[in-house]
């Protein structure tokens, strides 16, 4: 009888522990969402008032004059990020294919560690590397040096995503292609790659979103430019850089433009991430 009571007690205690554990998990998960909501709320509240047509279409005004926009920075960011993507996408996808196809090889294992390390390198260091590699030898700041720094940031994301996606493709699908007399390169390009397309694209989109707002490596590479510059070998303005300069300036008008620019940037990054989610679920290949 006494034994039975003891059992009941321990069961009740376990149920209680279970509840506490469950509530803790939910509570902590909610806490992780709070900062994001606060950031979005704050940026929207402060920024949306200053988003106007002028912001998108006008150039910055000289110090002291009111108004102006960030047209040069929007164009610059798009150009720099596009060049980064052109560099990082082919290299990243091909490396990802190599890693998924040669998981045991020594080069594969070495490359995998290298990718992990590259992912952990602080972005400012990548900026310094681009500065030493390109800015110093070429004798001046340039958009292309910024693109190289950002491409190095984007690479690990694309490589990892490609590798992980391709690893999920069952071997039997490749076997089917081999059994039809399809040579290896075509098996990879026409069977494996299309089957992993959604995952690879997701990696690319997340990569672009990641580097879009990166500022540190651009400080001593693409630098900044008060005018619209289309030549990638010249210094260029970017959205994160203009936010940096304007937000730290003493002029209220500039600070307001920085808020507007922040809102545009966050909205764009959010949009890219949403597209990535849609691509990942809509284009998912069923095996």
Strand partners, 68: 60
Taking each helix axis as running N to C, give the angle between helix 106-120 and helix 71-101, from 0 to 180 degrees, rounded to the nearest 10: 150
Which residues lie across from 60 on neighbouring strands? 68
The pair of three-digit structure tokens given for residue 43, joined into one six-digit string: 């940026």
Q: Between residues 18 and 175, which has the closer beta carbon with respect to another protein? A: 175
> Which pair of structure tokens corresponds to residue 163?
């590798």
* Least separation in angstroms between CB 170 and another protein: 7
Minimum CB distance to another protein smaller for 186 or for 277: 186
Tell me whether residue 19 or residue 190 sits nearer to another protein (CB atom).
Answer: 190
Instruction: Give 216: exposed, middle or buried? Use CB within 10 Å, 0-12, 13-18, 19+.
Output: middle
CA–CA gap between residue 158 and residue 138 (Å, rounded) = 29
* CA–CA–CA angle 171, 174, 284 (5° rounding): 80
Contact 239, 209 (CB under 8 A): no
Which of 147, 162 has the CB closer to another protein? Answer: 162
For another protein, the closer CB: 134 or 187:
187
Shortest distance, position 180 Cβ to another protein, whole Å: 4
- The answer to whether the beta carbons of residues 158 and 115 sit under 8 Å apart is no
Shortest reach from residue 175's CB to another protein, in Å:
6
Alpha carbon 115 to chain centroid, angstroms: 15
CB of residue 198 to another protein, shortest distance in Å: 10
Shortest Å distance, C-beta 88 to another protein? 25
State the residues that interact with another protein by CB under 8 A: 170, 172-173, 175-183, 186-187, 190-191, 194-195, 197, 285-287
- Of 182, 169, 147, which is closest to residue 96 (Cα–Cα)? 169
Residue 234 carries which DSSP code? S
> What is the smallest separation between the CB atom of 252 and another protein, expressed in angstroms?
55
Comparison of 12 and 186: residue with beta carbon closer to another protein: 186
Q: How far is the CB of 179 from another protein (least distance, A)?
A: 4
What letters, b where the CB count within 10 A reaches 16 and e where it falls short, cover 239-250?
bbbbbbebeeee
Give the nearer residue to another protein in terms of CB position, either 14 or 102.
Answer: 102
Considering the complex, state which of residue 55 and residue 187 has its C-beta at the smaller distance from another protein.
187
Q: Containing H/E element for 47?
A: helix 2-47
Residue 110 CB, nearest approach to another protein (Å): 19
In the three-class reduction of DSSP (H, G, I as helix; E, B as strand; rest coil), residue 229 is classed as: coil
């Amino acid at each position: 009888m006494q034994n039975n009571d003891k059992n009941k007690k321990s069961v009740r205690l376990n149920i209680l522990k279970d509840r506490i554990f469950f509530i803790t998990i939910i509570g902590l998960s909610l806490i992780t969402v709070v900062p994001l909501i606060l950031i979005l709320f704050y940026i929207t509240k402060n920024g949306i008032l200053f988003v106007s047509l002028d912001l998108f279409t006008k150039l910055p005004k000289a110090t002291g004059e009111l108004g102006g926009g960030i047209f040069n920075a929007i164009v610059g960011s798009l150009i720099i990020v596009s060049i980064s993507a052109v560099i990082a996408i082919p290299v990243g996808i091909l490396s990802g294919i190599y890693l998924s196809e040669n998981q045991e090889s020594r080069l594969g294992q070495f490359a995998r560690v290298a990718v992990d390390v590259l992912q952990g390198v602080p972005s400012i260091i990548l900026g310094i590397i681009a500065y030493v590699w390109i800015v110093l030898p070429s004798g001046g700041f340039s958009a292309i040096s910024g693109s190289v720094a950002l491409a190095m940031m984007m690479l690990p994301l694309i490589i990892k995503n490609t590798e992980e996606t391709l690893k999920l493709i069952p071997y039997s699908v490749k076997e089917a292609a081999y059994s039809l007399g399809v040579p290896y390169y075509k098996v990879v390009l026409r069977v494996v790659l299309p089957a992993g397309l959604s995952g690879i694209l997701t990696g690319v989109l997340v990569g672009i979103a990641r580097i879009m707002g990166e500022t540190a490596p651009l400080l001593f590479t693409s630098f900044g430019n008060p005018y619209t510059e289309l030549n990638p070998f010249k210094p260029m303005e970017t959205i994160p850089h203009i936010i940096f300069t304007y937000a730290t300036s003493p002029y209220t008008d500039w600070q307001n433009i920085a808020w507007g620019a922040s809102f545009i940037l966050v909205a764009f990054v959010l949009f890219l991430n949403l597209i990535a989610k849609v691509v990942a679920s809509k284009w998912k290949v069923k095996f």
